């Protein structure tokens, strides 16, 4: 979907002609007679501002319906409520930490079994799938090492037992990747990241492929009630207007940053699906529309938390913070921040080295970002009297 279509799929207000979407800050709607209304009765069930966002997101992803939730995790939670005790999930092994916590500490307790596998090899999914599998859950690319899984192949495997394929499309965004067209049934987004895009809100989105799934998710959304408020719906819509522009610039910056990092003498490994050396580059290229995202991770030759700590406290444009996808560049040290709750052994097994640093490129000028990283390398060298070999 092009920027033209995205922008013009956002309707102006039919009542007043307001070109931007009004914020309907209301809890209830007056009825002409009991049950006779203008399509809205109570704001948990539906709200006109939220409806615009939900319709736009469904269109962005090419789905049947969209649903807006209070956070990305609330969106994930709503999808998990499709399950019953005894059902099983096959999930990507380096799943988002918050999803892992929800699966393990909430849903396993309720009788849902989760198997974690490396989904970059679709065989691993095929070997585990059974009639008990109700959801196959992948992220592609993953956080923070940007592993890419073959959505189309995994979709065929899921279908063979009637399971739904869920894709967390947060990192690729609808600009780079259209999972429904590749065989996914449900998409979730942390709207907090690229879709919102300005680090000023938390939001979650679900997009369903079929009417049957839409009805089920709609029921859960209303029954559980973790909806997104109208003001945050407005901000998310406003974010979507510039999504393509921002995402493409972020991809361009990430490319420039990755190219700089692979040549830097203090850097050990660079993780970026746009590099031909990335082990899932060919599938990423095929599946992601030639766009590889705005996230670049790297490890240092001096593979210690201390060295990473030094680096992440010496950048100026890259702000040290969790989250990603906003217009301002951010960086984080996953072993001490986003992935601190995972035991070190398990972290190392999934490729998260002690010195791993994750960059989320914003929309600044790429040379400014490179200069910033360069001076951070220089200042760690200086702070420990480092002599270039």
Ligand X SMILES: *Cc1c(COP(=O)(O)O)cnc(C)c1O
Contacting ligand X (CB under 6 A), which of 98, 198, 317, 364?
Answer: 98
Minimum CB separation of residue 20 from ligand X in Å reads 24
Contacting ligand X (CB under 6 A), which of 96, 107, 116, 311?
Answer: 96
Instruction: Name residue 188's beta-bridge partners.
Output: 168, 206
Which residue, 56 or 202, has its beta carbon nearer to ligand X? Answer: 202
Burial of 308 (0-12, 13-18, 19+ CB in 10 A): buried
Which residue, 72 or 294, has its beta carbon nearer to ligand X? Answer: 72
Minimum CB separation of residue 304 from ligand X in Å reads 26
Minimum CB separation of residue 139 from ligand X in Å reads 5
Q: What is d(CA 52, CA 113) in angstroms, rounded to the nearest whole number? A: 36
Interior CA angle at 140 toward 178 and 132, to 5°? 95
- Site size toward ligand X (CB under 6 A) is 16
Stretch that binds ligand X, among 102-110, 188-196, 247-255, 369-377 (CB under 6 A): 188-196
Stretch that binds ligand X, among 23-31, 103-111, 125-133, 189-197 (CB under 6 A): 189-197
Which residue, 139 or 232, has its beta carbon nearer to ligand X? Answer: 139
CA atoms within 13 A on the CB side of 34: 0
- Compute φ and ψ for 217, nearest 5 degrees: -70, -40
The yes or no reply on residue 236 touching ligand X (CB under 6 A) is no
Q: Encoding tokens for residue 13?
A: 């207000």
Q: Encoding tokens for residue 92?
A: 């990507």
Q: Encoding tokens for residue 347?
A: 């972290």
Instruction: Name residue 267's beta-bridge partners.
Output: 300
Minimum CB separation of residue 22 from ligand X in Å reads 25
Contacting ligand X (CB under 6 A), which of 53, 58, 73, 146?
Answer: 73
Cα–Cα separations (whole angstroms), residue 317 to 146, 207, 245, 250: 23, 34, 20, 14
Q: Encoding tokens for residue 60?
A: 């962005």
> What mask, x for binding ligand X by CB under 6 A, covers residues 157 to 186?
-----------x-xx---------------
Set 77, 94, 150, 168: catalytic member: 168
Which residue, 48 or 72, has its beta carbon nearer to ligand X? Answer: 72
The yes or no reply on residue 190 touching ligand X (CB under 6 A) is yes
The yes or no reply on residue 202 touching ligand X (CB under 6 A) is yes
Strands 65-69 and 204-208: antiparallel
Q: Encoding tokens for residue 325?
A: 């996808």
Instruction: Name residue 332's beta-bridge partners.
Output: 358
Contacting ligand X (CB under 6 A), which of 50, 51, 134, 193?
Answer: 193
Set 24, 96, 107, 164: catalytic member: 96
Minimum CB separation of residue 324 from ligand X in Å reads 7
Residue 193 known to be catalytic: yes
Q: What is d(CA 113, CA 128) in angstroms, rounded to the nearest whole number? A: 12
The yes or no reply on residue 72 touching ligand X (CB under 6 A) is yes
Which residue, 171 or 271, has its beta carbon nearer to ligand X? Answer: 171
User: Using the 8-state DSSP alphabet, how is residue 226 labeled?
Assistant: -
Helix or strand holding residue 333 (H, E): none
For residue 27, the tally of other CB atoms under 10 A from its CB is 8
Minimum CB separation of residue 235 from ligand X in Å reads 13
Minimum CB separation of residue 4 from ligand X in Å reads 28
Which residue, 168 or 269, has its beta carbon nearer to ligand X? Answer: 168
The yes or no reply on residue 358 touching ligand X (CB under 6 A) is no
Strands 295-300 and 357-360: antiparallel
Residue 44 known to be catalytic: yes
Q: In what order do the strands lie in the sheet with 295-300?
A: 267-271, 295-300, 357-360, 330-332, 319-320
Q: What is d(CA 356, CA 374) in angstroms, rounded to the nearest whole number? A: 17
The yes or no reply on residue 139 touching ligand X (CB under 6 A) is yes
Which residue, 76 or 307, has its beta carbon nearer to ligand X? Answer: 76
**Which positions are annotated as active-site residues?**
44, 96, 168, 193
- Which residues sit at the interface with ligand X, rule CB under 6 A? 71-73, 96, 98-99, 139, 143, 168, 170-171, 190, 192-193, 202, 204
């Amino acid at each position: 979907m092009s920027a033209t279509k995205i922008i013009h799929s956002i309707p102006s207000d039919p009542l007043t002609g307001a070109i931007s979407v009004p914020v309907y800050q209301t809890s209830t709607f007056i009825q002409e007679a009991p049950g006779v209304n203008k399509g809205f009765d109570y704001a948990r069930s539906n709200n006109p501002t939220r409806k615009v966002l939900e319709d736009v997101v469904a269109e962005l992803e090419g789905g049947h319906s969209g649903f807006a939730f209070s956070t990305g995790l609330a969106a994930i939670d709503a999808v998990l409520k499709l399950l019953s005790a005894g059902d099983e999930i096959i999930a990507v092994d380096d799943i988002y930490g918050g999803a892992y916590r929800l699966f393990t500490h909430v849903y396993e307790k309720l009788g849902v079994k989760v198997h974690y596998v490396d989904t970059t090899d679709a065989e691993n999914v095929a070997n585990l799938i059974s009639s008990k599998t109700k959801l196959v859950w992948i992220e592609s690319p993953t956080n923070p090492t940007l592993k890419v899984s073959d959505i189309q192949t995994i979709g065929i495997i899921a279908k063979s037992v009637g399971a739904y394929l869920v894709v967390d499309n947060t990192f690729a965004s609808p600009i780079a990747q259209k999972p429904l067209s590749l065989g996914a049934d449900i998409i979730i987004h942390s709207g907090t990241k690229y879709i919102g895009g300005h680090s000023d809100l938390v939001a979650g989105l679900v997009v369903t492929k079929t009417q049957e799934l839409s009805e089920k998710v709609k029921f859960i959304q209303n029954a559980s009630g973790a909806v997104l408020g109208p003001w945050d719906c407005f901000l998310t819509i406003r974010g979507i207007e510039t999504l393509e522009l921002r995402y493409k610039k972020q991809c361009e910056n990430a490319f420039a940053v990755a190219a700089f990092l692979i040549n830097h003498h203090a850097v050990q490994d660079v993780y970026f699906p746009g590099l031909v050396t990335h082990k899932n580059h060919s599938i990423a290229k095929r599946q992601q529309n030639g766009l590889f995202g705005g996230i670049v991770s790297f490890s240092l030759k001096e593979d210690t938390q201390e060295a990473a700590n030094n680096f992440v406290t010496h950048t100026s444009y890259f702000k040290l913070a969790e989250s990603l996808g906003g217009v301002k560049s951010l960086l984080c040290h996953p072993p001490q921040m986003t992935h601190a709750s995972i035991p070190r052994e398990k972290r190392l097994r999934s490729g998260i080295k002690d010195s791993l640093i994750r960059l989320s490129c914003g929309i600044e000028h790429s040379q400014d970002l490179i200069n910033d990283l360069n001076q951070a390398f220089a200042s760690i060298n200086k702070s420990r009297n480092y002599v270039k070999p």
